[in-house]
């Protein structure tokens, strides 16, 4: 059966905040770049940063060299709606984010979009979520970033169910941080990985612990090997 082509918009969500979405967004971006595509990344709502701080997109640029953009940045390290309320700010609308992604698509083959926290965190003043944005973006699919350890199976299944109930295309799962020497994966992590690989959308791969500290050159040249399920679908050399 022929492979369905990958979409032009790859939304990176996670089972929670701090699961490694930014690092995986960088690894997905690097894998797409290695396949010869031009790529930009977009963070609709960046919380927990001041005007001069580096947000998630600065790390994606530092690790991959890709052009990146943010929809809005807010100071409080919390969900966008309460963070906006604290500083009396309005959040961009879903239409604003759609236009921002469309503008990046005008100049790039693929746009990678990183959510804030998990899938159903509210991104707009109307209470729309990343799931609503993914549903509103044409030619879009979702990569789900998950933890390796105990508890990840339930969180993964909940997020998959929310995606599937909304008819959102699931491109596959990535483990955000996979243990490596000196700490080897424990029996639970190995069993989780085996189970995640049996799900129909597939396990695209796992980013090794320590990857963000490897330096841009090593990160860029290694990313496709961390995400073999993605690289294979892209025809990455």
Ligand X SMILES: C[C@H](N)[C@H](N)CCCCCC(=O)O
Residues with catalytic function: 43
Q: Which is nearer to ligand ATP, 63 or 168 (CB)?
A: 63
Contact between 22 and ligand ATP by CB under 6 A: the answer reads yes
Using CB positions, name the residue nearest to Mg ion. Answer: 22
Dist CA 37 CA 112 (whole Å)? 12
126 annotated binding-site participant: no
Tokens 């640029």, located at residue = 61
Instruction: Find the helix or strand (DSSP H, E) in which 186 lies.
Output: none
Contact between 143 and ligand ATP by CB under 6 A: the answer reads no
Our CA angle for 96, 71, 109, nearest 5°, is 80
Contact between 83 and ligand ATP by CB under 6 A: the answer reads no
Contacts with Mg ion, 56-85, as mask; x by CB under 5 A = x-----------------------------
Residue 228's CB: how many other CB atoms inside 10 A?
15
Dist CA 198 CA 195 (whole Å)? 5
Tokens 């709606």, located at residue = 81
User: Where does this chain touch Mg ion (CB under 5 A) — which range of 2-10, 54-62, 89-97, 166-174?
Assistant: 54-62
Q: Name the CA dihedral angle for 148, 153, 158, 161, rounded to a multiple of 10 degrees.
A: 100
Contact between 116 and ligand X by CB under 6 A: the answer reads yes
Residue 64 structure tokens: 């991959």
Contact between 60 and ligand ATP by CB under 6 A: the answer reads no
Q: Which is nearer to ligand X, 28 or 116 (CB)?
A: 116
Contact between 45 and Mg ion by CB under 5 A: the answer reads no
Residues at the interface with ligand ATP (CB under 6 A): 14, 17-23, 56, 116-117, 176-177, 207, 209-212
């Amino acid at each position: 059966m022929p492979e369905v082509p990958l979409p032009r918009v790859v939304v990176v969500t996670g089972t929670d905040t701090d699961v490694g979405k930014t690092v995986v967004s960088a690894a997905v971006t690097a894998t797409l770049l290695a396949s010869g595509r031009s790529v930009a990344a977009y963070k609709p709502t960046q919380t927990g940063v001041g005007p001069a701080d580096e947000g998630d997109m600065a790390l994606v640029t530092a690790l991959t060299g890709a052009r990146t953009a943010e929809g809005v940045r807010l100071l409080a390290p919390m969900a966008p709606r309460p963070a906006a309320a604290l500083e009396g700010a309005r959040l961009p609308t879903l239409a604003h984010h759609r236009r921002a992604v469309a503008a990046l698509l005008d100049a790039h083959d693929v746009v990678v979009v990183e959510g804030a926290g998990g899938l159903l965190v509210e991104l707009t003043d109307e209470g729309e979520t990343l799931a609503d944005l993914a549903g509103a973006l044409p030619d879009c699919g979702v990569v789900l970033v998950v933890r390796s350890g105990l508890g990840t199976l339930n969180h993964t299944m909940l997020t998959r169910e929310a995606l599937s109930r909304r008819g959102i295309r699931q491109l596959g799962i990535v483990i955000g941080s996979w243990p490596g020497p000196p700490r080897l994966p424990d029996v639970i992590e190995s069993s989780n990985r085996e189970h995640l690989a049996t799900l129909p959308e597939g396990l695209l791969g796992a980013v090794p612990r320590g990857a963000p500290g490897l330096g841009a050159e090593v990160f860029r040249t290694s990313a496709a090997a961390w995400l073999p399920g993605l690289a294979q679908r892209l025809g990455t050399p």
